Amino acid sequence: MAFTVFLLLLSFVSAAFLLLFRRTRYRRMGLPPGSLGLPLIGETLQLIGAYKTENPEPFIDERVARYGPVFMTHLFGEPTVFSADPETNRFVLQNEGKLFECSYPASICNLLGKHSLLLMKGSLHKLRFNLDSWSSRILLMEEAKKITFELTVKQLMSFDPGEWSESLRKEYLLVIEGFFSIPIPLFSNTYRKAIQARGKVAEALTVVVMKRRKEEEEGAERKKDMLAALLTAEDGFSDEEIVDFLVALLVAGYETTSTIMTLAVKFLTETPLALAQLKEEHEKIRTMKSDSESLEWSDYKSMPFTQCVVNETLRIANIIGGVFRRAMTDVEIKGYKIPKGWKVFSSFRAVHLDPNHFKDARTFNPWRWQSNSVTTSPSNVFTPFGGGPRLCPGYELARVAISVFLHRLVTGFSWVPAEQDKLVFFPTTRTQKRYPIIVKRRDSGLSTT
């Protein structure tokens, strides 16, 4: 018994000494203040635990209050400098390929593939055939994801919606669930299922790529889609590279634009004055066209309040909470040193929800974008699509797709929530119950493209 107590005491003293030594060493290195947490897992469990609640901000808020907006931590197996500072984030994004390189947790990289573009992609799509199939009670988030996924499959590979695309979408759901899990199959059932699903997705896409490559070699009529462009690229991509590209782009089509669509509706429903103003804007457009006429680019440009709603939804929801980068060399910033090889997480969420930049930052207020009430330059503090060389190339198309969806919804339907729902933030931002609503069809509206 005494020997056991001695071992426990020795372990405690050793751990305390190691922690003190590590803090002193890091202080001498000029690193930002902070804590690396437990060996191996660091503070990953605290981060995941916070994001599984309705209010994930305490993980950031508590550390910012204690250490300042730039602090060190240890996430997903690696020491990481966490930035809630807009100037630091801008510096990191602008120095992509010079001082920093894209570097995501192993769980994400393994699931998307080593050749992944890790980019979002939005598009301007035909929506009417999807919405016309709605019954009285729908899960809006599920329907929005079906719309964006099917249309992305069509754009990338010219597949019409059907059994194949729906089967692929279900596997994607499992892949996404594993994004922020511990990347060790033995310890994570979620990650194990995600890896298995990723294998099925890759297998299905490889069959498509090989078939299309054969058709290309045989001189068949070329389709006008992303896959055709990849197959005929001058540099020449391998099948594996093309599959990884498609995996990343399909994930974007499933998870990002569709979530913004859903949350915009949720926030508008909870803010009746904003919903009334949005309806007024779109009814004005509708009255100027016949039922058979499609929306034109000029119509999109005449939706100023819609853009305020989109901006505010992007700011509040933070579908992309931030980006991971890795220091390619020792970097000096804000009086601190980021050692070569260390990860940096530039947090968009922390900046977007900072009351120093946005008054009543955690309140949905689309009118703030009308009055320019942002405290500092929006380009510095509002970065929902990233920045620098890796700025999402589809950001404008994503905004158009969301705007067209909102137009079709408010001119074609009325709705009420079927039950209370709430936001959750892990592994990605979503609503807990997929936002069930009761929809009622209005008279026929515009054809939308």
Dihedral (CA of 106, 112, 117, 120) sign: negative
DSSP class of residue 96 equals B
Q: 267-319: per-residue pLDDT in tens?
A: 999 999 999 999 999 999 988 887 667 788 888 889 999 999 999 999 998 88
Dihedral (CA of 80, 86, 91, 96) sign: positive
What distance in Å separates the CA atoms of residue 278 and residue 83, rounded to the nearest whole number?
Answer: 35
DSSP class of residue 325 equals E
Provide the whole-model pTM.
0.76
Query: For 355-369, what is the mean pLDDT?
Result: 92
Query: For 83-98, what is the mean pLDDT?
Result: 90
The most confident of the ranges 182-196, 302-316, 362-376 is 302-316
Q: Is the pLDDT of residue 103 over 80?
A: no
- CB neighbourhood size of 395 (10 A): 16
Q: Check whether 392 is labelled as a binding-site residue.
A: yes
Dihedral (CA of 84, 85, 86, 91) sign: negative
Place of tokens 């997903």: 76
Ranges 150-159, 250-259, 391-400: which has the least confidence: 391-400
Rounding to the nearest 10 degrees, give the CA dihedral for residues 175, 177, 179, 182.
Answer: -110
Q: Is the pLDDT of residue 418 over 70?
A: yes
Report angle CA 128, 124, 144 to the nearest 5 degrees: 55
Q: 434-447: per-residue pLDDT in tens?
A: 899 999 988 654 44
Take residue 281 and report the two structure tokens written for it: 């804007």
Query: For 9-38, what is the mean pLDDT?
Result: 62
Q: 329-357: per-residue pLDDT in tens?
A: 999 988 899 999 999 989 888 899 999 89
Inter-residue contact 247 to 232 (CB < 8 Å) = no
What distance in Å separates the CA atoms of residue 159 and residue 167, rounded to the nearest whole number?
Answer: 13
With cut-offs at 50, 70 and 90, classify the pLDDT of residue 384: confident
How many Å is the Cα radius of gyration of the chain? 24
Query: In terms of C-beta distances under 8 Å and separation of at least 24 residues, what long-range contacts does 290-293 make, across chains too?
Result: 291/444, 291/445, 291/446, 291/447, 292/447, 293/446, 293/447
